[in-house]
Amino acid sequence: MTIYRERLWASAWVFISTALVIPASLLVFLPINFGVGVIVAIVLYAGCVTILIATSPTIEVTAEQFVAGRARLPIRFIGSVEGFRNDEATLERGQRLDSRAWLLIRGWVGPVVRVDVLDENDPTPYWVVSTRHPEDVVAAIAKARATA
């Protein structure tokens, strides 16, 4: 049973800035052939958009586990969970970051959630995961713990 699910889509500004591939490819291919230049520009931009969509990770909390991208952490191995926004999130991604931490960070998503790992066999002390709704992730993990 899924308690929380979020897809970390790229922001609109990322798609807009990726559109710069259009004039760049036109600049290269228009002197050769107008039709080829337009087709290459469209295909390259479509490829960029496809890659952005296909590689956007999913965050999910179920009754059994916390899933961030391809990584999975059983609920029984989760310690404290904290959400951070603005300057605090920047500090968690930077100055306070332990080099052993597992990261799923996207530059276009500001807030993060920090999930402590209690598994003694895991060298990772905690996860730092980007999320647009850190309070909802914290609440979902608390709900998963209550049902376990």
Task: Summarize pLDDT for 50-103 with one digit per residue, the tens.
Answer: 999 999 999 999 999 999 999 999 999 999 999 999 999 999 999 999 999 999
Same domain, 70 and 50: no
Task: List the domain range (segments joined by +) for residue 40.
Answer: 2-54
Band of residue 147 on the pLDDT scale cut at 50, 70, 90: confident
Check: CB of residue 145 under 8 Å from CB of residue 77: no
Same domain, 41 and 100: no
Same domain, 10 and 41: yes
pLDDT digits (tens, 9 = 90+) for 105-129: 999 999 999 999 999 999 999 999 9
* Whole-angstrom distance, CA of residue 39 vs CA of residue 6: 34
The closest alpha carbon to 6, from 85, 101, 86, 112, belongs to 112
Same domain, 36 and 13: yes
pTM of the predicted model as reported, rounded to 2 decimal places: 0.85
DSSP-based three-state secondary structure for 59: strand
